[in-house]
Every structure is written in C-alpha cells, then in structure tokens.
Amino acid sequence: MSLHSGIPDAIAADVRHGERLEWWTLLWIGSVVVVMGLVMGASQAMKSAVIEDVLSLIPAIVFLLSVHWERKRANRRFPFGYRRANSLAFLVAATALLSVGGFLVYESVTTLVRQEHPTVGGITLFGETIWLGWLMIAALVYSVIPPLVLGRIKQPVAKRINDKVLHTDALMQKADWQTGLAAIAGIIGIGLGWWWADASAALFIALSIIKDAIGALKQAVAELLDGTPRALASNAIADDAKALIAALEARFGQVEVRLRETGRYIAAEVDCRPPAVIPTEAELMGEDKAWRLASLGFRPD
C-alpha cells in the first residue's frame, strides 16, 4: 500500500538547490579543465589533475539525469516509477570516483617505476621568459577554489535530501581540490630537482580517493541488491532505518520487517496481517523524516 504522497516543500527546494549546484559544477569545473589544459606541459601531476577534473563531471551529470527521471510519472512499463534512477546514478558516480583513483595510482606507479624525469621549461610572455611552473601553480590554485567551495556547500544539502549521488559528488570535489594541492607540491618538487615528487604527490592523494570510492561502491551495490538502507557516509545501517524497524516492531510485535532503499526513499514490508488502521509516515518516522517512507506493505503468514 503506497503511503507516499509527495515530498515536503523544503525537501523539494533542496533538490532544486542540488540541481543548481550541479549546473554550477559543470560550469566551473569545465573552466578549470580549459585553464589546466592550456598549461599542462609534461607534468604527471598536472596531467592526472586534468583527467581527474574531467571524470569529476560524471557525478554532476548523472545527478541531473536521475532527478529528471525521478520526476517522471509511473506508467505500465515502469509501474513503480523512476525513483531507482537515483540508485543507478549512485552506482555510476561511485564507479567514476573509483576510476579516478585507479587511474591516478596507475599513472603514478608507472612513472615511479620507469623513473621518468618530467621537465618544466620556460615560456615567453610579453618579451620575458618565465618558468612554466609558475603558470601551472597559478592554474592549480584556481582549480582548487571551485571544488573546495562547491563540495562544502553540497554536503549539508545531500544530508538533508538523503542523496548519495550528491554526497559522492561532494567526495569527488574533495578529490579535486586535494589533487590540486598535491599537484602544486609536485610542480614545486620538479623545480627543486626532485623528479619523484611529481608522481609521489599524485599517488598519495589517489589512495585516499580509492578508499572513499570503495566505501561508496559498497553502498551502491547494497542498494541495488535491496539491502537494508545504508547511512549516507558509510556502509552501516542508516539510523532512520533502525528507528523505522523499531517502530514497526513496537507496533506489531516481534514480526519480520524488511526494508529496502529506492533512491532517497524507503520501502517497508511487514510479515503480518494488515491492521485495521494503517500508521502514518509521521507516526513511524517522525515529522522530519516522514517523506522518506515511500510505501508500507503487509504479508500475512
């Protein structure tokens, strides 16, 4: 039996806010890619940072697509609607994050093994020859600012609307600015004659990215396999899922309760006869989380 009749205005406003943030992400990170590409040179860290920035656009794109599909009405071909578009987008975003980390590890390790010595030459501007590294560092400083700001803004929005795609994108933004800082360290290392500093800086940050990506991928797979809803930032059972199970058991006794997550929503099923009075979403989850309960079904023994 469907209980869900729409999300509160505040949540809908936050979803629209998330969309605006993702459009800004496409604009700003796109400009970062252009600027970085112009001064990339032979630096491994710069090359890795550019490719990482390109891949970081994927979560923003799939978030926008998932929200678009989520708003479509149910039909005969998709009788349960398109809420799971968010779940699919989460898997794509997590895979993109893992791809970024894997690529950075591969490029960095091969550079260190081959002992490649990157060089940063000079460039003539307005009749003066300057070290290209200064332009690289300036571009990297610019590349750090947009993801640092956007990532911090996205995190509370993702938490309010319980959107793992937006949260994963915030992690991608974190990877962006950390990679930028690591690349700056690498360029400075090249200037000091430390050939290994460039690749080592990229490798250091790649391991952190992979750690976040593996956690996100575990959550995405659990969601697609109808696992009990997971927390936003870990593979642990979500607190509101625990509270819902406790509320249903308190209401109907020691019965089997199954929960699964479809995007930002929860579907619940209880092994007992349907009661004469169906509890409301607010009674089971509280006013602030009531919108999360999309359906409640009963299966008689």
CB atoms within 10 A of CB 145: 13
Query: How far is the C-alpha of 295 from the C-alpha of 4, rounded, in Å?
Result: 6
3-state secondary structure of 217: helix
Tokens describing residue 293: 């309960």
| Sequence ranges of the domains in the chain | 9-224, 239-298
Considering the domain delimited by 9-224, tell me its CATH architecture.
Answer: Up-down Bundle (1.20)
Tokens describing residue 288: 């602030």
At residue 127, the pLDDT reads: 67
Q: Nearest CA to 96 among 33, 64, 67, 53? A: 53
At residue 3, the pLDDT reads: 42
pTM of the entire structure?
0.83
Residue indicated by tokens 């994108």: 169
- pLDDT (tens, 9 = 90+) of the chain, 301 residues, equals 334 446 788 898 999 999 999 999 999 999 998 988 887 766 666 777 777 788 889 899 999 999 998 888 888 888 878 888 888 898 998 898 898 888 888 888 887 887 766 666 666 666 677 777 788 888 889 989 999 999 999 999 999 999 999 998 998 888 888 878 877 887 888 777 777 777 787 787 788 788 888 988 998 998 888 889 999 888 889 999 999 999 999 998 888 999 998 888 999 999 988 888 888 898 999 888 889 998 899 988 6
First-to-last C-alpha distance (Å) of the chain: 17
At residue 134, the pLDDT reads: 83
